Chain A
Amino acid sequence: MSLKASVKVSRTPFALDVQLEVKQGETVAVLGPNGAGKTTLLRALAGLVPFEGRVELNGNVLEDSAQRFRVPTEDRHVGLVFQDHVLFPHLSVLDNIAFGLQAQGRPEARKIARGWLERAGLADKAGSMPRELSGGQAQRVALLRTLATEPRLLLLDEPLSALDVTIRAEVRRELARQLNSFPGVRLIVTHDPLEAIALADRLVVLENGHVVQTGTPQEVTARPRSRFVADLAGVNLLRGQGHGDHITLVNGSSVAAPDAGEGNVFAMIHPRAVALYLTRPEGTPRNVWQGETENIDLHGDRVRVRVLGPVPLVAEVTPSAVRDLHLHVGAPVWISVKATEVSVYPA
């Protein structure tokens, strides 16, 4: 019982080429920046966008372009929850939820719909029109409307991004609870790492239409393979050639690391491992460069300083260190990183 999909959409200047497998009872989040092709992927799985490839759900083929076979959207039993909910504005909340049940020809559709509303604690909203709902309520009604049809595959497009930041955490908890009680295959697309990590068992990182990394949230953030993931994990990511005890970056700079390996590699450096100095540090740290302060950002009680130089890095320091070092944008600064703090893995 699972989803197996291979989806290829070519639409200049945009191309999507994704292989995907999601097991029953597992929540997978497709994570990527805007424009990575996430929504197109969901629409392809729902049968709303033509593509090349094959989609198989629980052993049944939904679409196979090679065989020119295609199950129409309405027969797929695929539940698609749109980013901005797309509740029918002319139907009450109850009728919105009953809609899918009526489409299936279920008797007492409205009674079943009322049951869903009651279980979700929204019974008092049954007679409301969608425009009278708050963003969080609309999101929950949209999810209920889809869950009520008992789909085999649940597709959520940026489920929380249309919501006000102040209520996201609450709606996210509710969503996580509902996802866990949904027995089918669950797929979310999002550009919000927090949303992905909070809701998903496994991440699929999509960039420019291609999968760059998959794994549990821990695996993905521990060894980022793209700038997007590195940024979300808040770490420095470098790419270069391994030469045993050091790495050569594309711009020719060298970074010492104990196990640099050979060939194409990624090097990850945590910002807390990057030290800043006013003058060239004494002692023998092998990774010492001079650079220029590009950017200073306050993150809670820590300060992130982006330094341009032969090896551009972000350092995380205390506010008092910023004062002591007289740091300001454009100020010269020395940076050093212990070789043992450079973690290298194959690209």
Chain B
Amino acid sequence: MSQGRVPAALLALAGLGLLFFLLPLVGLIVRAPWDQAIGAIGSPETGTALGLSLFCSLAATAVALVLGIPLAFVLSKTTGNLRSVIRALTTLPMVLPPVVGGVALLLAFGRKGLVGSILYQAFGIQIPFTTAAAVMAETFVAMPFLVIAVEGGLRSLDPRYEEAARALGARGWMVFARVTLPLLRPAIFSGAVLCWARALGEFGATITFAGNFPGRTQTVPVAVYVALETRPESAIVLSLILLAVSLAVLVGMRDRWLGAL
């Protein structure tokens, strides 16, 4: 903190803002049916949703790593209008309402969709309302976080490491695999964690494109929403689990990783 005093009005508004974040969390913790919590965690429905959520979010992160790192690499090497276009396309899912993302995915990969109709007619493959659809929905929404983080890392990378590698005779792939990628490790790690956290909490695109089938597409956020009507105590316990995971991510990454963004 610097020496100057913060005006009282600003202090009050800032406090109000902080309270606004804090109260819902307090509500969640205070109203949690702690006596039933242990039982709810152990229940098969919770376990299934949790397992599916973990699988889908990790799979989405894996897909984002395989596709997102090359995308960030290409993005960092292009210039001009093409760069603006690619950049806008990759960051669009960050600002797009997830439900719209889900609808868009349906229109592209649904049975009558742009690509989906071909897949269905040629191979009999249906993507919507499968676990694969849940993974795709999560990837769609979460991958931009990885791309942005890795591109940031690439931009702050000293280009002379790659130049030195080339001067030593290394070709494109070797430069990428042995020099660029290892030097990007911190950016890739923080990007992957953010991407995973976003995928874990994904709801809108998932329920639209993958639906709500327990054991197949019902991830924890979807289960929370559904349970809120019939079994609110179960919804609260599931929410607590997601909150704990989010807090763990936040504490684990601390400022040094998040600060890189």
Contact = CB atoms under 8 A, between A and B. Distances in A.
B82 interface: no
Contacts of A99: 165, 168, 170, 178
Interface string A138-176: 000000011001000000000000000000000000000
Contacts of B16: none
B168 A103 contact: yes
Contacts of A78: 167
A19 interface: no
Interface of B: 158, 160-161, 163-171, 174, 178-179, 182-183, 185
A272 B185 CA distance: 61
Prevailing SS type, chain B contact patch = helix
Interface in A70-103: 72-80, 82, 86, 88-91, 99-100, 102-103
A75 to B, nearest CB: 8
B116 to A, nearest CB: 43
Contact of B168 (A72, A89, A90, A100): A100
Nearest to B183: A90
Contacts of B174: 102-103
A89 B185 CA distance: 12
A180 interface: no
B178 to A, nearest CB: 7
29 contacts: A46-B163, A48-B163, A48-B166, A48-B167, A72-B166, A73-B167, A74-B167, A75-B169, A77-B169, A80-B163, A80-B164, A82-B164, A86-B164, A88-B165, A88-B183, A89-B183, A90-B182, A91-B178, A99-B165, A99-B168, A99-B170, A99-B178, A100-B170, A102-B174, A103-B171, A145-B168, A146-B168, A149-B168, A149-B169
A74 B170 contact: yes
- Which of A78, A88, A91 neighbours the largest number of chain B CB atoms within 10 Å of its CB? A88
Nearest to A76: B167
Interface residues on A, range: 20 to 34
Interface in A26-48: 46, 48
B157 to A, nearest CB: 11
Interface pairs A-B: 9 shortest CB-CB: A100-B168, A103-B169, A103-B170, A80-B167, A73-B166, A90-B182, A86-B164, A74-B166, A86-B160
Contact of B161 (A72, A73, A77, A88): A88
A88 B179 contact: yes
A100 B182 contact: no
A104 interface: yes
Contacts of A100: 168-170
Given A89-B183, A90-B183, A99-B178, A104 B169 contact: yes
- Which of B158, B168, B178 neighbours the largest number of chain A CB atoms within 10 Å of its CB? B168
B120 to A, nearest CB: 46
Nearest to B160: A86
Given A86-B161, A103-B171, 8 more contacts: A74-B167, A75-B169, A78-B167, A86-B160, A99-B178, A103-B168, A104-B169, A146-B168
B80 to A, nearest CB: 17
- Which of B158, B165, B174, B182 neighbours the largest number of chain A CB atoms within 10 Å of its CB? B165
B180 to A, nearest CB: 11
Contacts of A149: 168-169
A101 to B, nearest CB: 9
A77 B185 CA distance: 30
Contacts of A74: 166-167, 169-171
Contacts of B167: 46, 48, 73-74, 76, 78-80, 146
Contacts of A103: 165, 168-171, 174
Contacts of A89: 183
